[in-house]
Amino acid sequence: MKLLNFALIKITICLIVGILFAHYFNFSYTYTLALTLILILGLSVLLIVERARLVKSVAFGVLTIFTFLGIGILSYQLHDQKSFKQHYTQHIDPAKDTIETISFQIREVLKPGVFHDKYSVDILTINDRQLVGKTLLNVQRDSLLQAYKVDAVFVTTSPLTHLNPPINPNQFDYKKYLEKQYIYHQIFTDHHELLPVYSETHTIFGYAAQLRTHINSKLKFYNFRPDELALINALLLGQRQDISPEIFNSYSKAGAIHILAVSGLHVGIVLLLLNSLFRPLEYLKHGKTLKTLLILLILWGFAIVAGLSASVTRAVMMFSIVAIGMNLKRPTNIYNTLAISMFFLLLFKPLFLFDVGFQMSYLAVIAIVSFQPFLEKLWQPSFKPAKTLWQIFTVTLAAQFGVVPISLFYFHQFPGLFFLSNLVIIPVLGIILGMGIIVILLAAINLLPVWIADIYGGIISTMNSFVRWVSLQERFIFTDLSFSLLQVLAAYLLIMTLVMVSKKQNFKRLALAMLAVLMFQSVLIFEEKKNQTEEFVVFHKSRYSLIGIKKNATLAVSHNFDSLTSSRDNIIKNYKIGNAIKEIANETLEHVYLFGNKRILVVDSLGIYRIPEFNPDYVVLRNSPKINLNRLLDSIKPQLIIADGSNYKSYLKRWELSCLQQNTPFHLTGREGAFVLKNE
């Protein structure tokens, strides 16, 4: 099947390219709007002129491409909240302007951190001026107080602060992640500094949160364990905040993490149940239309209750189109269905394109519909249970073909027993979802028998135990895998050509497949050569010192914390993955390092810095040495002073002032990030 022959797929690709252009390049909104309107007008005129022709001209095709490129760029710009006239960044600079009061409304309860409960909030006013915008609220954790409710309004005098960029190499960029959700600042506060304000304003998200709270209050009367209740919330209500790290890691290592996010599998089961439930309506006049409307209403209600995440919104959009096709008795091409759902989602939520769940959902579905039929034909058992298991296995394998490259890029691990997990979990998941809907409905009206609740909880616990057992088979879990974006693109090109060859073998397709193999090998060689570099790195680690010397694929690590902790340290792990390190050696911290033609002096708590005939280019201060920095600067005149995370804050302020007086650059790792010196 030549997918590019479908017009919907073409215009969706153009929309995606337009969004990418707008994200990485800065275009004038006025010019984009004017040009897009001209293109739409021109396309409309050309469509009227050529309406009688069965085949459109080349000019029509070219104009269509540029029109939807413009629509993609314009959609991105229209949804960029920073460009809104009433957005707070247009009126206030948190770094310069004094903020006396901020009022805001809770929009979403996020997964709590170690020290803070986190919320996404909508700003209402700043200094009594009505402004708009989203921000991140961090409230100091208090085990005696419950989490704030969605739609609650508060006033605080706590200031807006900038989001922190990553301070160590290859660290997850939480700042960019939040910016893709239109969050540009954050508030740190505690319960005592938040004044609740009575408000009659309620949003649909608030009503959905109240419904989830009501359901949970009813379920808590039964003997569900915390992990069981957390799974019910994740699978049926789309809320994963209460899942314990242990359960989350178990599902991740077992290759079943997708089960915890409401997605196409969950929504598909709900659609089948609703289709069967409302089938009697077909005997009424206009019954099919009524049935379709009810299914769509319930599906989108389910999406709202589940929080309208990228995965559930994508699934509900796609299955809404499937539902319309099913009940109007019209064949629905799955590729067109995917293209329609993706087009409208990105038209109204362009930043969904950068959401990991969104990307993995579509890639998995595309891989299943493209490759699974071929895999299923390889073996056709007559025994029905074997046939069912084979279908589940081929669906799981095809989905893995679609998500493995991007999964390696984002998560750097591959669960070798994913097929075993899914063979067991997918059939059980159908039971859990079907039974779960009944459990929730009966619990909501106080008619749920205890024995049914016990059976349901037992099924969930059994599934958790099985997943935990699979995750403990560590020899089948491949972790800390380095996979670059260039490798991802080359891998998908290879997969696409293999799918083409699997469907039809000819010289052209075989040649393309061989070319894709050569390109993938070339990318691997290029990445290998690119990592053949040398670096001296002073990492930032609070209360500790951590220095690394990279030579090609080897990293020598010097630190002052125990070796067990260092082997699990995320700073070292991130650097190892990001730079394709194959070997790590633990060494002791030295006072002198020679790196290329640069000399580096490390001054620790002993305060020794006078070394005969040694004039360092850089000085690293660690463990709060009691020295007069002015004398050190006068004595050895280094090019740069570096202070790591093991020093007292009071010392850092004094040292920075001394460097300022002596016109010597001062690098504070806690502020500027890790110091990286490359050997050119």
Return the DSSP state at 185.
E
What distance in Å separates the CA atoms of residue 183 and residue 133, rounded to the nearest whole number?
8
Residues 6+ apart with CB under 8 A from 20: 72, 353
The predicted structure's pLDDT at residue 237: 82
Return the DSSP state at 153.
E
Are 150 and 109 in contact by the 8 Å Cβ rule? The answer is yes
CA dihedral 205, 206, 211, 217 (to 10 degrees): 130
What distance in Å separates the CA atoms of residue 30 and residue 19, rounded to the nearest whole number?
17
Query: 590-595, long-range: CB within 8 Å, 24+ apart, which pairs?
Result: 590/558, 592/616, 593/536, 593/547, 593/549, 595/534, 595/536, 595/549, 595/677, 595/679
- Structure tokens belonging to residue 176: 């960019």
Secondary structure class of 134 (helix, strand, coil): strand
Return the DSSP state at 55.
S
Beta-strand runs (E) in 5-133 = 102-109, 116-126, 129-130
* Beta pairing class for 194-197 and 116-126: unpaired
Total residue length of the chain: 680
Which CATH number applies to 88-202? Answer: 2.40.50
Q: Give the chain's mean pLDDT.
A: 87
pLDDT at 459 > cutoff 80: yes
What distance in Å separates the CA atoms of residue 5 and residue 8, rounded to the nearest whole number?
9
pLDDT at 487 > cutoff 80: yes
Beta bridge mates, 160: 187
What distance in Å separates the CA atoms of residue 116 and residue 88, rounded to the nearest whole number?
24
pLDDT at 560 > cutoff 90: no
pLDDT at 482 > cutoff 60: yes
Per-residue DSSP letters for 104-122? Answer: EEEEEEPPP-SSEEEEEEE
The predicted structure's pLDDT at residue 200: 80
What distance in Å separates the CA atoms of residue 457 and residue 231, rounded to the nearest whole number?
10
What distance in Å separates the CA atoms of residue 532 and residue 523, rounded to the nearest whole number?
15
Are 205 and 108 in contact by the 8 Å Cβ rule? The answer is yes
Hunting for tokens 């995320």 — which residue is that? 570
Hunting for tokens 């996020």 — which residue is that? 110
pLDDT at 5 > cutoff 60: no
Hunting for tokens 């949804």 — which residue is that? 79
pLDDT at 49 > cutoff 50: yes
* Beta pairing class for 129-130 and 116-126: antiparallel
For residues 464-470, give the mean pLDDT.
90
What distance in Å separates the CA atoms of residue 224 and residue 458, rounded to the nearest whole number?
9
pLDDT at 480 > cutoff 70: yes
What distance in Å separates the CA atoms of residue 372 and residue 499, rounded to the nearest whole number?
10
pLDDT at 332 > cutoff 80: no
Q: Minimal CA–CA distance to 457: which of 116, 221, 645, 649?
A: 221
Secondary structure class of 320 (helix, strand, coil): helix
Return phi, psi of residue 420, to 5°.
-65, -45
Edge-first strand order for the sheet with 554-559 is 583-587, 554-559, 546-551, 534-538, 675-678
Q: Minimal CA–CA distance to 666: which of 614, 632, 678, 549?
A: 632
Hunting for tokens 């790591």 — which residue is that? 644
pLDDT at 157 > cutoff 70: yes
* Dihedral-angle region of residue 329 (phi above 0 means left; psi in -120 to 50 means alpha; beta otherwise): left
What distance in Å separates the CA atoms of residue 458 and residue 437, rounded to the nearest whole number?
16
- Structure tokens belonging to residue 260: 């915890």
pLDDT at 329 > cutoff 70: no
What are the tens digits of pLDDT across the range 380-415?
A: 888 888 888 888 788 888 888 888 899 899 988 888
The predicted structure's pLDDT at residue 641: 95
The predicted structure's pLDDT at residue 71: 94
Residues 6+ apart with CB under 8 A from 513: 494, 497, 498, 500, 501
Residues 6+ apart with CB under 8 A from 56: 50
- Based on C-alpha coordinates, what's the Rg of the chain? 29
The predicted structure's pLDDT at residue 47: 80
What are the tens digits of pLDDT across the range 214-232?
A: 888 888 888 888 888 988 8
- Higher local confidence (pLDDT), 634 or 57: 634
The predicted structure's pLDDT at residue 55: 60
pLDDT at 264 > cutoff 80: no
Return phi, psi of residue 35, to 5°.
-65, -40
Residue type, 519: M
Quick count: other Cβ atoms within 10 Å of Cβ 437?
15
Are 306 and 312 in contact by the 8 Å Cβ rule? The answer is yes
pLDDT at 652 > cutoff 90: yes
Dihedral angle sign, alpha carbons of residues 276, 280, 283, 285: negative
For residues 363-382, give the mean pLDDT.
84
Residue spans of the domains in the chain: they are 3-78, 88-202, 210-478, 485-530, 534-678
pLDDT at 559 > cutoff 70: yes
- Higher local confidence (pLDDT), 643 or 198: 643
What are the tens digits of pLDDT across the range 116-140?
A: 999 999 999 999 899 999 999 999 9
The region of weakest confidence among 130-139, 319-328, 621-630, 644-653 is 319-328
What are the tens digits of pLDDT across the range 51-107?
A: 766 566 788 888 889 999 999 999 999 999 988 999 999 998 888 888 889 999 999
Percent of the residues in the chain that have a pLDDT greater than 70, as a whole number:
95
The answer to whether the pTM exceeds 0.95 is: no
The predicted structure's pLDDT at residue 1: 45
pLDDT at 181 > cutoff 70: yes
Element (H, E) at 668: strand 666-668
- Structure tokens belonging to residue 657: 């002032």
pLDDT at 586 > cutoff 50: yes
CA angle 397, 515, 400 (to 5 degrees): 10
The predicted structure's pLDDT at residue 436: 86
Are 624 and 646 in contact by the 8 Å Cβ rule? The answer is yes
What are the tens digits of pLDDT across the range 235-254?
A: 888 888 888 888 888 888 88
